[in-house]
């Protein structure tokens, strides 16, 4: 360009523009910014003439003519640039920048629930399930769930941490164990998926990468249903963290994938119609993902042969036993309170497990992961107000068991004045209730080896109470 203009080709050095706004103008601008309650530059720019005139009128500001002209000539961008350091020191947060995932999100096409129609086997919806327990703080294990739209085939894999590179590595392992090719990968707008790493991986592997609409979980109804029907049903809601828990979860998912895909029928929506506010749905007959793949004409003969070979060697009872053992191991890791060596749980033989299936329904919930974590009973947190007089109160109770808690408290107040106020009545009532229960058990079942010697005095000195308890015992026996 310089040669065409007739120059000699040497770079012409332009003179640097001098500073237009000096330190005095910046200091005046800071004062005006503070007087405006620290509004942004775009709002401060039209306010400056009014604000300068009002502050000068009331004697709060006195500007030199050149400073006044310079301040009123500033643009909104110049105001923000000159106030940048003042905002930072004042504790203002920098303006929120567009996250890097926004550009990736725009490059990934959106696919809604109605856009699926009838895809060929291989198009999967994916989601992450967090095993964080009651709190999401800290690092915890995640589960990557993939569900095939056509067949309902479900794959689960643990993630030690929620990280994009780990997502691609786990996805690569899932592709190796799938009996058919992965053609599509549809996710939500989580940053674990919406990033260049996952997008470039799908592009390189020839996998169609799509996403659902933000805050529209119905766009991923297939995988959302498996989050509860498979992951939560098998794993539960305990907090899992660390490498050991992730390894135990992987051991659980190995038999789960075979049991769910070969021996767990599921419904598939055939059509849905709406008549005003009434929605009518019709479903296909329940079938396992394995059966749907065999019946699909788009599945190759090679995939069918692979599926039949896998199904011929599967024992559902053996798989269920392995699932129960892995669940028990996972619960022990999640509920572990101390640090130390823990041996592997003893597993029943296949015959013992099969025999237990006949009577397992009598014991209620059999999945260890669905059973609540046992909590130790909370002990007393305050000192016992009756610790020094408990023996005396118990002696009075044994002598006259018909006395009420209030009568015992009145006697105690008379014996030890100004020590036991009326607000302790509820505490004494709980104590007396416990003593009455122990006395009733002794009357019905007799004195045990660990009972106090004075227990028999209750029956001897309260014959009417003994008779009532005996009658009650007779009624229970009848």
**CA dihedral over 179, 182, 183, 185, signed as positive or negative:** positive
Mapped onto helix, strand or coil, the DSSP state of residue 41 is helix
What is the DSSP track for 44-84? HHHHHHHHHHHHHHTTS----HHHHHHHHT--HHHHHHHTH
The pLDDT score that the predictor gives to residue 381 is 77
Classify residue 377 as exposed, middle or buried by CB count within 10 Å of its CB (0-12, 13-18, 19+).
Answer: exposed
**One domain, residues 42 and 122:** no
**One domain, residues 153 and 83:** no
Domain that holds residue 430: 390-477
Query: Alpha helix locations (H) across 296-382?
Result: 301-312, 316-334, 350-357
**One domain, residues 126 and 195:** yes
**One domain, residues 85 and 133:** no
**One domain, residues 57 and 152:** no
For residue 439, give the H/E element and its range: helix 425-445
Residue 469 has pLDDT above 80, yes or no: no
For residue 33, give the H/E element and its range: helix 23-35
Mean pLDDT of the chain: 83
Task: Note whether residue 1 is domain-resident.
Answer: no
- For the chain, counts of helices (H) and of strands (E): 20, 7
Cβ count near 20 (within 10 Å):
10
Task: Note whether residue 317 is domain-resident.
Answer: no
For residue 395, give the H/E element and its range: helix 390-399
Mapped onto helix, strand or coil, the DSSP state of residue 448 is coil
> What percentage of the chain's residues is helix, strand, coil (to nearest 5)?
50, 10, 40
Query: Torsion angle of alpha carbons 62, 65, 71, 75, nearest 10°?
Result: 160
The pair of three-digit structure tokens given for residue 355, joined into one six-digit string: 């025999």
Distance CA(220)–CA(129), nearest Å, equals: 14
Higher model confidence: residue 358 or residue 350?
350
Kind of pairing between the strands at 278-283 and 269-275: antiparallel
Task: Note whether residue 359 is domain-resident.
Answer: no
The pair of three-digit structure tokens given for residue 255, joined into one six-digit string: 């038999």
**One domain, residues 84 and 121:** no
Q: Look at the pTM and tell me if it is higher than 0.85.
A: no
Residue 112 has pLDDT above 50, yes or no: yes
**pLDDT tens-digit readout, 182-240:** 999 999 999 999 999 999 999 999 999 999 999 888 899 999 999 999 999 999 999 99
Task: Note whether residue 431 is domain-resident.
Answer: yes
Kindly state the percentage of the chain with pLDDT values over 90: 48
**One domain, residues 51 and 137:** no
User: CA gyration radius for the chain?
Assistant: 38
**One domain, residues 154 and 257:** yes
Domain count, the chain: 3
**One domain, residues 154 and 302:** yes
Give the list of residues 6+ apart from residue 416 with CB closer than 8 angstroms, or none: 389
**One domain, residues 75 and 127:** no
**One domain, residues 84 and 198:** no
Least confident of 71-75, 111-115, 286-290, 378-382: 378-382
The pLDDT score that the predictor gives to residue 171 is 94
**pLDDT tens-digit readout, 117-147:** 889 999 999 999 999 988 888 889 999 999 9
**One domain, residues 157 and 211:** yes
Phi-psi region of 310 (alpha: psi -120 to 50; beta: other; left: phi over 0): alpha
Q: What CATH number is attached to the domain comprising 307? A: 3.30.420.10
């Amino acid at each position: 360009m310089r040669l065409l203009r007739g120059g000699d080709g040497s770079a012409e050095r332009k003179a640097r523009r001098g500073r237009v706004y000096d330190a005095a103008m910046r200091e005046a601008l800071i004062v005006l910014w503070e007087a405006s309650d620290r509004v942004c530059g775009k709002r401060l720019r039209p306010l400056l003439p009014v604000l300068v005139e009002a502050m000068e009128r009331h004697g709060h500001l006195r500007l030199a003519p050149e400073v006044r002209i310079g301040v009123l000539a500033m643009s909104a961008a110049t105001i923000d640039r000159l106030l940048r350091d003042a905002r930072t020191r004042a504790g203002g947060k920098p303006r929120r920048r567009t996250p890097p995932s926004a550009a990736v999100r725009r490059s990934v096409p959106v696919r809604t629930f109605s856009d699926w129609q009838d895809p060929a086997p291989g198009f999967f919806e994916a989601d992450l399930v967090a095993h964080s327990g009651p709190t999401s703080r800290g690092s915890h294990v995640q589960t990557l769930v993939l569900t095939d739209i056509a067949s309902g085939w479900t794959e689960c894999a643990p993630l030690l941490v929620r990280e994009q590179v780990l997502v691609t590595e786990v996805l690569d392992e899932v592709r190796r164990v799938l009996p058919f090719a992965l053609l599509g990968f549809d996710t939500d707008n989580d940053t674990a998926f919406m990033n260049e790493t996952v997008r470039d991986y799908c592009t390189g592997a020839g996998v169609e990468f799509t996403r659902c609409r933000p805050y529209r979980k119905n766009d991923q109804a297939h995988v959302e249903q498996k989050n509860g029907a498979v992951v939560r049903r098998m794993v539960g809601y305990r907090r899992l963290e660390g490498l050991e828990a992730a390894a135990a979860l992987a051991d659980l998912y190995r038999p789960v994938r075979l049991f769910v895909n070969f021996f767990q029928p599921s419904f598939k929506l055939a059509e849905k119609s709406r008549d005003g506010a009434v929605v009518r749905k019709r479903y296909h007959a329940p079938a396992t993902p394995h059966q749907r793949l065999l019946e699909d004409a788009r599945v190759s003969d090679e995939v069918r042969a692979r599926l039949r070979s896998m199904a011929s060697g599967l024992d559902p009872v053996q798989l269920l036993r392995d699932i129960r053992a892995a669940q028990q191991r996972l619960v022990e890791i999640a509920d572990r309170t101390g640090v130390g060596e823990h041996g592997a749980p003893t597993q029943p033989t296949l015959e013992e497990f099969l025999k237990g299936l006949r009577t397992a329904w009598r014991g209620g919930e059999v999945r260890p992961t669905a059973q609540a974590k046992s909590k130790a009973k909370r002990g007393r947190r305050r000192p016992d107000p009756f610790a020094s007089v408990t023996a005396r109160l118990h002696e009075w109770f044994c002598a006259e068991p018909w006395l009420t808690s209030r009568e015992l408290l009145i006697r105690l107040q008379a014996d030890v004045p100004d020590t036991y106020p009326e607000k302790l009545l509820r505490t004494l009532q709980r104590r007396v209730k416990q003593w009455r229960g122990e006395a009733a058990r002794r009357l019905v079942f007799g004195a045990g080896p660990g009972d106090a010697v004075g227990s028999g005095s209750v029956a001897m000195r309260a014959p009417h109470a003994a008779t009532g308890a005996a009658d009650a015992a007779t009624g229970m026996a009848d």
